[in-house]
Amino acid sequence: MIRAILFDLDGILIDFADYHFEALNFALDEVCDRPVLFSERDNYEGLSTRQKLACMVEEGRVKAGTEENIYRLKQGHTMAMAARRVRLEPAKVLMCRRLRKEVGKIGCVSNCIRASVDVLLKAAGLLEFMAVTVSNEDVTHPKPSPDPYLLAASLLGLSPSHCLAIEDHERGVQSAKAAGCRVVQMQYQHVNLIGVKRAFRNCSKGISDDCLARV
């Protein structure tokens, strides 16, 4: 029985991926004059900022030892963009309000830092509905490790098998599955009350994750 729905943040509750990309490029340009081309963006999809920077060091794009400065600048740009650009999303607010009433508990499990999670959810009007929020700073190993979902389930006092994860990227799907959650992979435009309730009903009917995999 599903007793909680756990949402990814970026690309699921809030479409902020372009802003993260823009903020990282501002920081890369300031430090090493090596911004990421749009055509290269998919190479880093689903990774946290620290994971992206570690890959860039291995590739020789970023000089070892400069990662922390780039990371700090990127987070500053992200916070500034969040304050200016993220607005209340009535459809997502309605979805979260209804799901909390009908399912019991909802939460957010993100690869973003704690400050980003809180600022973005609050700006979108969604923070008040979350029984739990997990950031990449709350675990030793972020997604695709199972740790974020294991922590969320533990904080809710539930078995992971009683949690339905809503994810947009394969790394998030891997994380939720490894933790033992049911998981549905959705795209931002389909994350609404009708789409999520359909996924919830299908889970409750015992439909396999292979059939649920993409909505």
User: Are 91 and 81 part of one and the same domain?
Assistant: no
Residue ending a domain, choose from 54, 85, 116: 85
Of the pLDDT bands very low, low, confident and very high (cuts 50, 70, 90), residue 192 is: very high
The whole domain housing 202 covers: 4-15+87-212
Of the pLDDT bands very low, low, confident and very high (cuts 50, 70, 90), residue 180 is: very high
Mean pLDDT to the nearest integer, 8-37: 88
Query: What's residue 83's pLDDT?
Result: 76
Rounded Cα distance between 149 and 152, Å, is 5
Smallest Cα–Cα separation from 112: which of 145, 78, 81, 146? 78
The CATH number for 155's domain is 3.40.50.1000
User: Are 100 and 150 part of one and the same domain?
Assistant: yes
Query: What's residue 209's pLDDT?
Result: 53
The percentage of the chain sitting over the pLDDT mark of 90, rounded to a whole number, equals 63
Query: What's residue 208's pLDDT?
Result: 55
User: Are 61 and 107 part of one and the same domain?
Assistant: no
Query: What's residue 173's pLDDT?
Result: 95
Residue ending a domain, choose from 85, 107, 142: 85
Q: Read off the tokens for 51.
A: 């994971």
Is the pLDDT at 105 greater than 90? The verdict is: yes
User: Are 69 and 106 part of one and the same domain?
Assistant: no
User: Are 112 and 204 part of one and the same domain?
Assistant: yes
53-57, 116-120, 147-151 — most confident range: 147-151
Mean pLDDT to the nearest integer, 118-128: 93
201 versus 37: the higher-pLDDT residue is: 201
Residue ending a domain, choose from 55, 85, 115: 85
Mean pLDDT to the nearest integer, 182-186: 94
Q: Read off the tokens for 28.
A: 């890369």
User: Are 69 and 118 part of one and the same domain?
Assistant: no
pTM (2 d.p.): 0.82
Is the pLDDT at 100 greater than 50? The verdict is: yes
User: Are 93 and 195 part of one and the same domain?
Assistant: yes
Q: Read off the tokens for 5.
A: 């729905």
Rounded Cα distance between 22 and 115, Å, is 18
Number of domains in the chain: 2
Strands (E) located in the chain:
4-7, 105-109, 132-134, 163-167, 182-185
Query: What's residue 45's pLDDT?
Result: 81
User: Are 153 and 81 part of one and the same domain?
Assistant: no
User: Are 99 and 67 part of one and the same domain?
Assistant: no
